Amino acid sequence: MNSANFLVSIMMLMLVASACFAQDGTGPKYDLVSKYRNAEDTRTIRRHIEDIFNAYIESDSATARETHTHDWFGFRAGSARVIRGIDGYMGGFVENPPNPAVGFEFVELDIDVEGDYAVVLYLARYFQQNPKKQTFARLIRSIDVYRRDAAGWNQCASNLSIVPDHQRDARGLHSIPALRRPLNSAPHALSENAATPQPKTEGVDRYIRQMLAAAENGDDEAIAKLTTADWKGIGAASLVPQSKGKMDASVGAVLYGGRRIKNLTLLDQHVQVEGDLALAFYSAHCTIIDPITKKGSSGLIRFGDVLREEAGAWKQRATHIALFVDADNNE
């Protein structure tokens, strides 16, 4: 028996022994089988994300389409409203862009598998080439949601934002990117979904109103109460994923980086509920108050929230918040 087969045999024996140990009541319910499967799921999802990056590098529209579900929804890098459906997603795919992608690397990648859903938070460096063949990098932050069906894992939602690698403000934080899109369009009603509204969306609507109110009031205590004990997220002023209990700052400070967000008016929202899990992707007009200059700039805030229902209330399990200043009104 060669060494590779020997290692596989040992692993299988460990899996069987662990399953039996948990079932006969002689020890703790430590499910090594599930842990092994989660590790394999994590590897599969990482390869899937790499396939998406490579689809853009190779201008492969077929792979870009196949790596997203037909009912995908979320935000592309520069979108102000929620994009709904695979055709909407592919509308932003450019096969011959002026600054083609030439490579990427993960700076940090966090994948949590919960049943048939997985939450991905990552920071990646994305390399592009300008018409003069000069290579430059941009930072991509994202929350991706994956859903498992009979065909395997596929991305069903995402909120992705791009930060210029070189732009930083006086405190060393990355600057807020400008969004050249019409930001003065009329807001949508709460729970305006592509599909028929689902049960429990009223509770999610309540959560969204509470989160927006807490953000506008700068109420860190209220924000903390709206998040789960195992919360993870990427804030508007942070780059890498943060975890509650493993950071010095409050959740509110991580999400907004000391910037005050005022005059929030909901622009668009899409909610999907699956049992005790919900996805809430929404955007709002806002005024961004700089903590140093105290000046306000009109802009947009986008949320990609994964929620969990606990004791009858929806709480934020994971998020990526993206802030944009309105380039047309602030230049």
CATH (domain of 81): 3.10.450.50
Q: Is 259 found in the same domain as 221?
A: yes
Residue 125 lies in a domain: yes
Identify whether 171 is part of a domain. no
pLDDT in tens, 36-77: 568 999 999 999 999 999 999 999 999 999 999 999 999 999
Among 125, 141, 164, residue at a domain's last position: 164
- 14 compared with 299, residue with greater pLDDT: 299
- How far is it, in rounded angstroms, from Cα 40 to Cα 19? 18
pLDDT of residue 178: 54
Does 169 fall in a domain?
Answer: no
Q: What is the pLDDT of residues 153-197, one digit of tens each?
A: 999 999 999 875 554 444 444 455 555 444 444 443 333 443 444
218 is written with which tokens?
């700068």
Asked whether residue 199 falls in the same domain as residue 318, the answer is: yes
Residue 279: band (very low, low, confident or very high) from pLDDT cuts 50, 70, 90: very high
- What is the rounded CA–CA span in Å between residue 67 and residue 243? 28
Provide the pLDDT confidence category of residue 27 given band limits of 50, 70 and 90: very low
Same domain, 227 and 136: no
DSSP 280: E
Rounded CA gap, 194 and 71, in Å? 9
Boundaries of domain holding 121? 42-164
pLDDT in tens, 295-305: 898 989 999 99
What size, in residues, is the chain?
331
Are residue 65 and residue 205 in the same domain, yes or no?
no
Among residues 268, 289, 266, which one has the least CA distance to residue 192?
Answer: 268
Domain final residue, candidates 115, 136, 164: 164
What integer pLDDT is reported at residue 195 of this predicted model?
Answer: 41
Into how many domains does the chain fold? Answer: 3
The answer, yes or no, to whether residue 198 has pLDDT greater than 80, is no
Give the count of beta carbons closer than 10 Å to the beta carbon of residue 320.
Answer: 29
Question: In this structure, is residue 223 part of a structural domain?
Answer: yes
306 and 273 inside one domain: yes
Q: Which residues pair with 138 in a beta bridge?
A: 126, 164
Q: Is residue 285 part of a domain?
A: yes
Please give the mean pLDDT across all residues of the chain: 81
Domain shared by 113 and 240, yes or no: no
Whether residues 237 and 185 fall in one domain: yes
Please indicate, yes or no, whether residues 55 and 5 belong to a single structural domain of this protein: no
Q: Kindly state whether residues 12 and 65 are assigned to the same domain.
A: no
Global pTM value? 0.81
Q: Are residues 125 and 87 in the same domain?
A: yes
